[in-house]
């Protein structure tokens, strides 16, 4: 019997101390649309809100933040022509920008930033196909 394959990404859930503060980040920086708010009640483990960001369902739930920062992150694709606009949105909210990693030409640019709960987000200008094409050039013999 052939194993079933996952069909798509369902959603991403982030645990945050302050739902309002995270909603401000999601709407102001990522252009998220809120589609659900549990209010004072809860159908899950705690109060929660659902958003759609670039076609992805993103849930935030009230709780204790991550204890430390890491490079684990969620990345969203942006157009290169909007790179500086997004940088402005991030800095307008006083969010900490993380130094971009070293890159080879042709793999796109990234803005990395932390929220107040130690989640790392990336806004990336490239695609998987572009990155693979660029990396293959480095391993293809001349």
> Which stretches of the chain score pLDDT less than 70?
138-142
Q: How far apart are CA 57 and CA 11, in angstroms?
A: 5
The yes/no answer on whether domain 11-139 falls in CATH 1.10.1060.10 is: no
Q: What is the pLDDT of residue 92?
A: 96
48 catalytic? Reply is yes
Selecting among 2, 23, 48, 62, the annotated active-site residue is 48
Report the C-alpha gap between 93 and 28 in whole angstroms. 8
Domain ranges in the chain are 11-139
pTM listed for this prediction: 0.85
For residue 41, what pLDDT is reported?
A: 80
pLDDT value of position 50: 97
Question: Mind listing the pLDDT tens digit for each residue in 52-64?
Answer: 999 999 999 999 9
Residue 74: the pLDDT is 94
What is d(CA 74, CA 92) in angstroms, rounded to the nearest whole number?
A: 21
């Amino acid at each position: 019997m052939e194993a079933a394959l996952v069909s798509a990404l369902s959603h991403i859930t982030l645990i945050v101390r302050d739902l309002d503060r995270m909603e401000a980040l999601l709407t102001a920086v990522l252009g998220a649309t809120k589609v659900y708010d549990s209010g004072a009640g809860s159908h899950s483990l705690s109060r929660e809100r659902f958003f759609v960001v670039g076609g992805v369902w993103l849930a935030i739930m009230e709780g204790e933040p991550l204890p430390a920062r890491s490079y684990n992150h969620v990345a969203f694709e942006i157009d290169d022509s909007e790179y500086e606009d997004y940088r402005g949105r991030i800095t307008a909210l006083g969010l900490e920008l993380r130094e971009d990693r070293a890159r080879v030409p042709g793999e796109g640019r990234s803005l990395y930033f932390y929220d107040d709960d130690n989640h790392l987000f990336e806004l990336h200008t490239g695609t998987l196909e572009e990155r693979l094409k660029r990396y293959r050039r480095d391993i293809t013999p001349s």
